[in-house]
Amino acid sequence: MHRIDLSYQVGATSAAPATIGNALMDLLFAVRQHGSISGAAKALGLSYRHVWGELKRWEQILGRTLIVWDKGQPARLNEFGEKLLWAERQAQARLAPQINALRADLERAFAMAFDDAAHVVPLYASHDQALGALHEHAVASKQLYLDISYTGSVDAIRGLNEGRCVIAGFHTRQDPVPGSLTERIYKPLLKPGLHKIIGFAQRSQGLIVARGNPKNVTTLADLRRPGVRYVNRALGTGTRTLFDELLEQAGILGSTIPGYERTEPSHNAVAHAIAGGHADAGLGIEPAVRGHALDFIPLVQENYFLVCLKSTLDQPSTQALLSILRSPQWQATLSAMPGYEPLQSGQVLSMRRVLPWWTFPTQKPQRSKIRAKRSARQ
């Protein structure tokens, strides 16, 4: 195996709020996008000589050419250059949750060091595009820093119960079914009177497929057809729980779906696998198809909730988060995201109403008992 050292820099752009960049990959991507070294140099704000020299230097390091250097013709990536860029982009797609978490950790550290008035909220949550947008919105407000660790919904709530975070994020179907798999998994982790549910967003989950849907996948039953390769999410994630619940209700065994055992760590990684031709369908959220030649087939509307312990609801950091969630600016940002709508953002909701999994005994008012005693005396 050929070994090379690639240095990365954590950064941000308007198109990608949390990214890591490598100088070589940036050069290759710019050459591909602009079709020439001069165009790439202009886009990167570098000189032609610098870009040309760096490409030649890397070709010596790698022992292979990266560019088709035809005299009199614009430079373009050769097959090895395309493969190298593809491999790096695939790795970034798979590591997107970890990259976001790393950036949040760095921001949290410097916020604590330099801003005495800043609030920090440790948040464990199922991977979600809107949470990334909320993180950027909160940073811009200079009031709050979200220390986000992306994990499965089940692990997020467990982290809250074990004191590893202050807020947890999880998602359920908008029309929860009594006795469903979601209820069986989440109900033991959430306790009325101990936890408080906070409204966040409504989003759409559906099947991500290649542009034009060449396999003609429109239902879960279509995933069992020969030649259709599915890519799943890991156990413990909310999307895997949703998918298994939908299969259970449709009477479909996961073992009958080719690719059921293959998993990816995020919605973006699922989309990248399909865009790269390594799978034909996967369950995910609509924003994941952006930037790829993919289509989205909506299946289910979900409610994405935040949850905290009742004892931390009045903490200044939690109140700062609720204030941002209730702001018109944040709700406008959320409404502009494909497949998302605000869902009573920042409002403390009745657990019994939004998660109708519990029954509470009806108690007679105390006043009625007093009247009954008086009547007996008379």
Q: What angle is formed at CA 193 by the lines to CA 190 and CA 196, rounded to 5 degrees?
A: 65
Max Cα–Cα distance, the chain, nearest Å: 112
CATH classification number, 9-91, choose in 3.30.413.10, 3.40.120.10, 3.40.50.2000, 1.10.10.10: 1.10.10.10
Distances (CA, A) of 228 to 212, 224, 250, 279, 299: 15, 7, 18, 8, 18
* Single pTM value for the model: 0.67
Q: Is the fold of 9-91 the same as that of 96-354?
A: no
Tell me the pairing of strands 195-210 and 281-285.
Answer: antiparallel
Q: What angle is formed at CA 162 by the lines to CA 160 and CA 167, rounded to 5 degrees?
A: 15
The residue extents of the domains of the chain are: 9-91, 96-354
CA distance 136 to 140: 6
DSSP state letter for 230: B
**What are the pLDDT tens digits along the chain (378 aa)?**
566 666 776 665 433 444 567 888 889 989 888 888 888 899 889 999 999 899 999 888 888 898 887 776 777 888 888 888 888 888 877 877 777 777 777 776 666 556 767 788 999 998 888 999 999 999 888 778 898 999 999 999 999 999 999 999 999 999 888 889 999 999 999 999 999 999 999 999 999 999 999 999 999 999 999 999 999 999 999 999 999 999 999 999 999 999 999 999 999 999 999 999 999 999 999 999 987 889 999 999 999 999 999 999 999 999 999 999 999 999 999 999 988 999 899 999 998 889 988 876 555 555 544 454 455 455
How many Å separate Cα 197 from the centre of its chain?
A: 20
Q: Name the CATH topology of 96-354.
A: D-Maltodextrin-Binding Protein; domain 2 (3.40.190)
Cβ atoms of 17 and 29 closer than 8 Å: no
- The DSSP string of 179-218 is T-HHHHHHGGG--BTTEEEEEEEEEEEEEEEETT-TT---
Residue 149 amino acid letter: S
Name beta bridge partners: 171.
Answer: 304
Cβ atoms of 169 and 200 closer than 8 Å: yes
